[in-house]
Structure 1
Amino acid sequence: MNRQDTPQMPLDWQMLVSNYKGKTLPAVDRVAGVMLLLAPGEHGPELLFTQRALDLHSHPGEVSFPGGNVEDEDIDLYATALRETQEEVGLTEVPLRLARLDALYARSGILVEPHVAWLDHKPQLIACEDEVAEIFWVPMLDLVQIPPEYQLFERNGRQWQVPFFYYNDWKIWGMTGMILVNFINVVWQQKWPSFHEEWGKNPMDDTE
């Protein structure tokens, strides 16, 4: 499929996202916020990803959105996501806050709240070497061309469908893939399998 055949980014995508009411989940002791930061590119909006540092104890080398655990000074989880983005990739500009997507539980049991924000230009970024190995942008039109591949994973006796996106040499999957599916479904009104059908319970809970 060439780019001319690709579904175009809706002109009102920011309104579609801003009007979306992200689903909430029961609170747990550990909560985190992550940021879907978009900026204009050659072929439309592009989405910021990071590759986690290779020597981290948790998910080393995996592709993720910038974000992390809440701190006492954060007034909400958007503030958490913004602060962590500033720390991880050196963001100095103030993005336009658009919306909160659906909350979900990471496989470690942490409640994660994704937030979407927009910059009207692509900023100069510098990776925090302790946390981030690489920073890269992906055109949204490249991500929506082909439905993700789904693989089954099992935890505590339950199976979970996990999406895998592939872009150049990058593999975007797991919680990051789930959040990406949610965002694409909102913008393009897609019906790709999403985590609320299967990840409505904390994966660390015991089975009933």
Structure 2
Amino acid sequence: MRNLLAERLSGYAPRQLALDYPEAGVLVPVTNNHRQPEIIFTLRSDNLKTHRGQVSFPGGRRDLTDSSLEATALRECHEEIGLPPEQVHIIAPLSQVMSRYGILVTPYVGVVPEDYPLVGNPAEIESIFQVPIDFFLEDQRERTDALSFLNHTFYVPCYRWERYQIWGLSAVILVDFLNAVYEAKIDLLEPPQR
């Protein structure tokens, strides 16, 4: 899986947003399974101040002690789901995105063991779940949300996997990953034709 992702992301130029906002780093964890790779998501606790009860990638705001946003993503991943940095092979960053709370988020694609025992931090994470990448490539979205950002409207898919809804910022990051790695051609600038 590492070689496949590295090859497909080698020519990818992630979009950088020239905005002066607080920063965060998140991990897009892909399991190391060539037959059926999965992406790991979290469901955030209802007790949190922001994004409570929402599906997200593990990650969070940059601390002053973090040497880089990649280090932020790895630290937060360890804190949130118990995955140590040495178990993650970072491949490449994806395009930066802006959260509705004014946080500039840089996602990093990382390959992780498919059978590592993940444990959610109960103060932050309600549950951890995995979704096969093939599910998203079928683009069986539940709905499309029209989201505004910098005078543009983006048509962002919402996917349902079991009891979870993957939408908003997480869906934007997910679509960037699917388009960059699998040439999914999911267009966020035009509403879907169905």
What does the per-residue CA deviation read over 1:68-88, in whole Å, with 9 as the maximum and x for residues that have no partner?
000111111111001000000
Once the two structures are aligned, what percentage of the paired residues are identical? 33
Pick closer, same or farther for the CA change 1:75–1:193 going to 2, 3 Å: same
Q: Tell me the matched-pair count.
A: 187
* 1:135 aligned partner: 128
**Alignment equivalent of 1:172, drawn from 166, 172, 193:** 166
Q: CA deviation at 1:102?
A: 0.4
Q: What is the 5 A alignment of 1:23-42?
A: 23-41=15-33
Bigger Cα Rg: 1
Q: Does 1:58 align with 2:64?
A: no
* 1:89 aligned partner: 81
Contact 1:48–1:135 under 8 Å retained in 2: yes
Paired residue type of 1:146: D
Q: Which moved more, 1:34-43 or 1:165-174?
A: 34-43
Paired residue type of 1:83: R
Q: Secondary structure at the match of 2:53?
A: coil
Contact 2:42–2:128 under 8 Å retained in 1: yes
The TM-score normalised by the length of structure 2 is 0.86
Contact 1:164–1:172 under 8 Å retained in 2: yes
Unaligned runs of 5+ in 1: 1-8, 199-208
Contact 2:5–2:91 under 8 Å retained in 1: no
What does the per-residue CA deviation read over 1:93-148, in whole Å, with 9 as the maximum and x for residues that have no partner?
43111000000111112111000000244311111000000011111111211253
Unaligned runs of 5+ in 2: none
* 1:181 aligned partner: 175
Pick closer, same or farther for the CA change 1:188–1:80 going to 2, 3 Å: same
Q: What is the 5 A alignment of 1:1-208?
A: 12-41=4-33, 43-92=35-84, 93-146=86-139, 148=141, 149-153=143-147, 159-194=153-188, 197=189
* 1:202 aligned partner: none
Distance 2:118 2:110 in 1: 16
Distance 2:121 2:159 in 1: 25
Distance 2:57 2:76 in 1: 10
What does the per-residue CA deviation read over 1:149-197, in whole Å, with 9 as the maximum and x for residues that have no partner?
3222457976442321111221100000000000000112122123xx5
Distance 1:25 1:157 in 2: 15
Aligned-pair Cα RMSD in Å: 2.3
Distance 1:12 1:60 in 2: 34
Contact 1:32–1:80 under 8 Å retained in 2: yes
Paired residue type of 2:46: L
Paired residue type of 1:68: G
